[in-house]
Amino acid sequence: MDWLRTHGHDILLIAALLVLAGALGLFLRLGRHSGGYVSVSVHGETVAELPLDRDASLPIETEGGHNLLIVEDGAARMESADCPDLLCVKMGAVRWTGESIVCLPHQVVVTVENGPDGGFDAAAR
């Protein structure tokens, strides 16, 4: 019981942090919006926009090499790439507004944009 008295405040602090972390996680999970389409840009210029509700395959050719983007089951993923690190392939699928897949060697960025629920695209003062 002596241990509890000397560390009681530590236990309360840990409990408060766990509750705060749980509340933050719940807030972030409930605040997500499923995307409506993915925007594909190469060297900063948009080259394609694909809806997430239709399966598709998009080969992306750049001066540096090629990537293959797959859209299926409401998500997009980089299926293959010939870049040295393959980080874009390892990123996995994206489906929530604001998520991205980036291939730096080829300068390819795939970003999930607002879905049918609208999401937020501006802030008011």
> How far apart, in Å, do the first and last CA atoms of the chain sit?
54
Residue 11 sits in which domain range? 1-31
**Does residue 7 form part of some domain?**
yes
The reply to whether 19 and 64 lie within a common domain is no
| CA distances from residue 11 to 7, 23, 61 in whole angstroms, order as listed | 6, 18, 56
Give the bridge partners for 61, in sequence order. 66
The reply to whether 13 and 48 lie within a common domain is no
Banded model confidence at residue 86, pLDDT cuts 50, 70, 90: very high
Least trusted range by pLDDT, from 24-33, 56-65, 91-100, 101-110: 24-33
pLDDT, tens digit (0-9, with 9 covering 90-100), for 26-47: 877 776 677 789 999 999 999 9
The secondary element (H helix, E strand) that includes residue 8 is: helix 2-30
Q: How far is CA 55 from the centre of its chain?
A: 19
Number of domains in the chain: 2
The reply to whether 77 and 101 lie within a common domain is yes
Q: Say what the pLDDT of residue 121 is.
A: 47
| More confident position, 49 or 124 | 49
Q: What is the CATH classification number for the domain harbouring 53?
A: 2.60.320.10
The secondary element (H helix, E strand) that includes residue 49 is: strand 45-51
Mean pLDDT of 43-66: 93
